[in-house]
Structures are given as structure tokens and as C-alpha cells.
């Protein structure tokens, strides 16, 4: 599988997996997705502007704090999005994590589906 050059995605899906290589094989064979980035902990797949990140859970967390498939969506402000999520009946989980490109946090929608919010740094 050849790597495809791609900057960080603003929207897509994170799929947590205990067997990343098997799941990458599934998505690349079934949907003809291409590998955009690969590390021991994650593989980023792309096709037609859609991004799936297959990821080993980055740390131990209670099962109710993440789902097997998690949307990620870019927002202008994590603080504003977390406040609005709570106002709309969602839940905000503790913690924020950063890399040099963006900061993330987790919320749940009003049905309990977990969503990762991303705020890109200027």
C-alpha cells in the first residue's frame, strides 16, 4: 500500500481496533481506500475526501467514554462547542489533548454517541 500525502483531516471517523492491520486490509480491499499515514498506533485511510482513522485506543479509559466508531468534527472553539453540546442535552468528558496541529476533546450527543471535537491551531 503506497502512502498518499494528505494534511490533517477536519472531519471523518475514528475506528478503534485491537487489530489495526486486519481492519486496514478490510477497508482497503472492500472500498479501495488508500493509506495516507501509518504509524504503529494508527493508520489513516482516504477516499474521495473521506477519512477513516483506524486507531488503537490511545490510553486506558472506561468503555462508556468511547465507542468503537467515533466521529471527529472540527469546530472554531472547543469551549463554545462544549457549552453548546451541554445546552443541547449532550455530555462533555474531562480532558483535552494536543499535538502541534490541533487540540481535541470528547463529547457525547444527546443519544450518548461519542464525538471527538478538533480545534485547529492558527
User: Using one digit for the tens of pLDDT, what is the confidence trace for 33-74?
Assistant: 999 999 999 999 998 888 999 988 777 766 665 567 888 889
Could you give phi then psi for residue 86, rounded to 5 degrees? -65, -40
Q: Could you read off the pLDDT of 25-41 as tens digits, one per residue?
A: 988 988 889 999 999 99
**What number of other Cβ atoms are within 10 A of residue 86's Cβ?**
12
Contact criterion met (CB below 8 Å) for 114 and 108: yes
The model's pTM is 0.72
Alpha helices in the chain (DSSP H): 20-31, 78-87
Q: Which domains does the chain have, with CATH numbers?
A: 11-55 (3.30.720.120), 76-120 (3.10.180.10)
| Eight-state DSSP code of residue 11 | E
CA-to-CA distance for 69 and 99, rounded, in angstroms? 21
Amino acid at each position: 500500500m503506497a502512502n498518499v500525502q494528505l494534511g490533517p483531516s477536519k472531519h471523518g471517523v475514528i475506528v478503534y481496533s485491537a487489530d489495526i492491520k486486519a481492519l486496514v486490509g478490510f477497508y482497503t480491499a472492500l472500498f479501495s481506500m488508500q493509506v495516507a499515514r501509518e504509524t504503529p498506533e494508527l493508520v489513516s485511510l482516504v477516499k474521495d475526501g473521506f477519512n477513516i482513522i483506524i486507531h488503537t485506543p490511545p490510553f486506558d479509559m472506561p468503555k462508556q467514554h468511547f465507542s468503537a466508531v467515533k466521529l471527529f468534527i472540527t469546530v472554531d472553539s472547543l469551549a463554545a462547542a462544549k457549552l453548546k453540546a451541554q445546552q443541547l442535552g449532550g455530555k462533555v468528558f474531562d480532558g483535552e489533548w494536543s499535538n502541534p496541529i490541533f487540540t481535541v476533546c470528547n463529547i457525547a450527543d444527546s443519544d450518548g454517541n461519542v464525538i471527538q471535537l478538533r480545534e485547529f491551531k492558527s
